[in-house]
Each structure stands twice: as C-alpha cells, then as structure tokens.
Structure 1
Amino acid sequence: MSFRFKEHDPETYRRKGRLISLAMAGQLIVFGLIFSQLLQLAFDGGFWLNVVGVLLGLVTTSMIFAVLRERPWMTEMRYVWQLKHHLSRVSAYLPALRRAVEEGNGTALAILTFYHQGMAQLAELNGRTLDDDSELLAERQKVYLARQESGLPERVDGFDPQDLAAFKRG
C-alpha cells in the first residue's frame, strides 16, 4: 500500500491530538477505577485485583480506540500515524539508501526525498522546526541538489514501501 502526502492544518491536528489524548487518559482512569472497584467487591480486596482492574481498563480503552480510529474526525491522527510508520520503516534503511544515492540510484534518491519531506511535514504538524539538526539539514540539501542535477522535481508525491525491498537494512 503506497502512501501519498496530504495537506493538513497543523493547528487542527494539534487541537484534535490534545483532545483525543485527554479523552483517552480520562477513559483509562474511569475504566481502571470501575474495574478495580468491581473486582474488589466481587473478590474481597487485594493489590493484584487493582492491577487487574487497571489492565482491564487499558484493554477496554484500547478496544474503544480501535473502533473509533476509523471515524472521519480521526483523519489527521490516522494520517500522522501512517506517516510516522513509513518514516520509521525508511529510517531502518537509511545507511543503505545513503550508499545507493552516492552510487546514483534514483529509487534511493526518491525514498530519501520522501523521508526528508515527511520529517519536515511531521515537524510542521507538531509545531516544531528541523533547524537544530545540522546533519539532517545538510543531507536534505544534498538530496535537493542531487534531484536538481538529475532534472527531477524538488518534491515527491509519496512513497511505495515495496521500493525498500531492493535495499539491505541497516
């Protein structure tokens, strides 16, 4: 399944992220307390019953979240999770991709371009900058120049994970 970049409003993403985090934490607390209390009443107390109650609260919260994950109002969250997943996969191949770019491999260049675009978009959505990582900035400039020399556009539209199969991890 290929991944395509989409534009999302950073403020909307951060607002929804905070709201969802608070709701999840609240659900976990409430369900943990309810299950702990029910177990304490049913089995006459004990520390481990509280632990089991909290674990049941965690499982219940996770199940509710899994169901709600596909709702339309979760679009930004799903997109960022997918972006992070793909960036994580690519980062496992970075040394091999860097070597392949040095050898003139166009696919590796496209994947590294995706990586740097994705990192920049993730930083923007999270309200951060990448200015403090000089190695990342230098590599991004190097990738930009390599694409320019090859006559390729500055940006890519997305990423196909199957493209990583040609490169050895790590």
Structure 2
Amino acid sequence: MKFEPIDKSRYRNHLNKVIIAAIVVLTGLSLGSAQLLIYLFPDSDGSHFHWNLSGVIFACIVIAVTLNKIKNKPFMYEVYYVWRLKQHLNLINRKQSTLKKQAAEGNSQSMQILHFYYQGLRKLWQLDDNTITMEELSIWQKELEGFARKYNVKLNKDEFDGGEL
C-alpha cells in the first residue's frame, strides 16, 4: 500500500456524511422492518426481541452491501483509503512485538514493515486529530532508526506492500 495525499477537510466531511447516513439508515430500516415483522407476525406474549434483532441485522446487511458497492466511487475515495490503511495497520499491530524483536536482531524486512507502520500511524493520527501520542511515536521511530543504522538498513516506507505479513 502506497501513501497517498489525503485532503483532511474533505476526508472528515465525507466521513461525517457516511456516518450520518449509516446512522439514519440503520435507525430507519431497523425500526421499519422490525415494525413490519411485528405487524405481520404478532406475538401474543408481547416479546418482540427476535423481530427487533432481525430488523437491526437486516439494516446492517443493507448498509454493508451499500458501502461495498460504493467504496470505489470518487466520493468515497478518502474514506475507503483510510479504511484500508487502518486494516493494514491493524494487521501489523497484531504482530508488532514479534516485528520489534526481529528488527532489534537486524531483520531488514521487519524494519521496513515497522517503518511503514510508524509512517501510517502518523498519517492516520494527523487525519483524525489524534496528536496525544505523537511523542511516543517519535520515540519508537528513533529506536527503529537506531536499529537501521546499526545494521546498515535504508528505511523506505514504499518497500512494504502489505503482502509480506
């Protein structure tokens, strides 16, 4: 995965619209379909939990299918890009302790993956205005740069394509 320039205000604007639309659709469809099911199949004891749950599940499926169909539209470009970036970072995060240990032992591939991970975190945190942990991220990057100097590895965030995990 390559890092691409993302317009922060456009990303936030489109993300907010997607979230609001999902909330409205979830609320409307889940309530509407649950009420329809309750009307068609009334329960004498008054418990309609299963119909309400069915309505929520139906609404979630509709939202998932819709998002999957529109993910490649220009409006969704930034939102979908950040979603994929978060997926990549999550995969790396699960193996972070192993990668750090391997990087300390001189494994250049682990260093490249961690370098991508740190650059991705920085980009993501800046897009989401999460600057609280930037200092900690700088410490991690300096540690990685020390390993790279020690083992003569040139760090390049474009060396990682995501298929190496």
Residue 122 of structure 1, CA deviation: 0.5
Once residues 7 and 61 of structure 2 are traced to their aligned partners in structure 1, the CA distance between those partners, rounded to angstroms, is: 31
Instruction: Mark the runs of 5 or more structure 1 residues left unpaired by the alignment.
Output: 165-170
- The answer on 1:7 being equivalent to 2:8 is no
Alpha-carbon RMSD: 2.2
The structure showing larger relative contact order (alpha-carbon pairs under 8 Å, at least 6 residues apart) is 1
Name the aligned partner's letter for residue 159 of structure 1. Answer: F
Give yes or no for contact 2:113–2:160 (8 Å, CA) kept in 1: yes
Q: Give the percent of matched residue pairs that are identical in Structure 1 and Structure 2.
A: 27
Partner of 1:22: 20
Partner of 2:54: 52
Q: Deviations over 1:107-132 (max 9, x none)?
A: 11111100100100010111121546
Give yes or no for contact 2:108–2:153 (8 Å, CA) kept in 1: no
Partner of 2:138: 137
Q: 1:108 aligns with which of 107, 110, 115?
A: 110
Once residues 132 and 83 of structure 1 are traced to their aligned partners in structure 2, the CA distance between those partners, rounded to angstroms, is: 18
Q: Could you tell me the TM-score, scaled by structure 1's length?
A: 0.82
Once residues 131 and 92 of structure 1 are traced to their aligned partners in structure 2, the CA distance between those partners, rounded to angstroms, is: 19
Partner of 1:41: 39
Name the aligned partner's letter for residue 102 of structure 2. Answer: A
Instruction: Mark the runs of 5 or more structure 2 residues left unpaired by the alignment.
Output: none
Once residues 72 and 117 of structure 1 are traced to their aligned partners in structure 2, the CA distance between those partners, rounded to angstroms, is: 25
Partner of 1:92: 94
